[in-house]
Amino acid sequence: LLRGRRVTVTAGGRGAAAAPRSAELWLPGPDGLVGRVERGAAEAVRSGARADLRVVG
């Protein structure tokens, strides 16, 4: 029984300077809605991607 699917969505803008952006999503997520895939810092470093930054304090 398939409960969710992990997909990569990529969107690009118009013009030469527009860089495509990607996001990994769960369709549907655990709560039945679209959810973003949470990646650990070690996985982001291995894949060469920049980890998300958060403001603390």
Distance CA 38, CA 40 (A): 7
Instruction: Report the predicted TM-score, pTM, of the whole model to 2 decimal places.
Output: 0.51
Distance CA 16, CA 26 (A): 30
Structure tokens at 12: 């690009």
Q: What is the pLDDT of residues 1-57, one digit of tens each?
A: 667 888 888 888 777 777 888 888 888 877 788 888 887 655 554 555 555 556 565
Contact between residue 6 and residue 26 where contact means Cβ atoms under 8 Å apart: yes
